[in-house]
Amino acid sequence: MDKIMDSLGIFDYIEDANGTYEYTAAEMRAYFAALVGNGVLKGAGNQFNASASGLQVTLGTGIGWLLGARGELTGPVTFPIDPVSSGMSKICSIVLDLDTVNQLIGITVLSGTQAASPSAPQLTTTDQRYQKLIWSATVHDDGTITLADARTYVSRPGDGVSATEIGAVSFTDVQTLTNAEKARACANAGAEKVRLQFTNISVATSAFVSNATYAAFGYRAAIALTGVTAGMTPRVIFGVVEAITGKYAPVAACYDGGVYIYASAVPGAAITIPTIIVLPEV
């Protein structure tokens, strides 16, 4: 390559003489921010719909994204608003609020200063604290509130993409299939029949023994699984707790009668692997 990107990923973690590299939450948020953006997730819940009754504002369910962080309201929330003096009014800003220092995301009602001609409160937009307006609430001296919708929407990657953009899907009548296509379909169906799947497999600590296959993962455990042969391809899906430790190799291997997994150290207690899928020989 003529120029490596100054920031790059996501790739497998690297373990070498310099140690193990793990992605930080800030790096992960940067990837999500590039994909999703900032705002209310379109079509999720009630999209933070708001209603006012007296000096109260009720916000509906919804999901918000800010700088790659995600927050969800699973039930409606009501916020009380302070009244204003006679002849005065004020503007309150209802915002999505991200606090990366304390690792929180929520809804905040910023109360403006009452005045004859009020101004909206200033929002914070830094990497440590980021606020995005979703509703503006004008408080009147008669005890009522007028709401103004300020929501902007974001979508999941691929939402609303047309068939023209991704290539239209066509369906062929079974009668028009060629013999070759029928043969491929039969072969695929046969392969699917011999695919093996095992769930909730317990692996004792005593199963892990010293092994030199991978320098970074010096221990191997043999997991006996009926029907597995050496030429098959395993896909080991670890539980979240095990996966985030980085102790387990991203590769595994089949042997006649089971699957080998690799670890950088013997675990402190037995582990349970939620799923192991073994694909047939190609």
12-51 b/e with 16+ CB inside 10 Å = b? eeebeeeeeeeeeeeeebbeeeeebebbbbbebbebbbbe
Two tokens, residue 236: 């080991």
Kindly report the pTM of this predicted structure. 0.53
Q: Which of 22-36, 199-213, 215-229, 250-264 has the lowest mean pLDDT?
A: 22-36
79 has a pLDDT exceeding 50? yes
CA dihedral 11, 16, 18, 19 (to 10 degrees): 70
Two tokens, residue 272: 């349970």
**Digit-coded pLDDT (tens) for 136-185:** 999 999 999 999 999 999 886 555 444 444 344 444 444 444 555 555 55
**Beta-bridge mates of residue 145:** 139
Radius of gyration of the chain (CA): 28
pLDDT at 1: 46
Q: Which of 29-43, 83-97, 160-174 has the lowest mean pLDDT?
A: 160-174
Q: Which of 33-47, 118-132, 184-198 has the lowest mean pLDDT?
A: 184-198
Q: pLDDT tier at 33 (50, 70, 90 boundaries)?
A: confident
- Cβ pair 238, 248 in contact under 8 A: yes
Q: pLDDT tier at 205 (50, 70, 90 boundaries)?
A: very high
**Percent of the chain, pLDDT > 70?**
78
Nearest-angstrom CA–CA distance, 91 and 150: 13
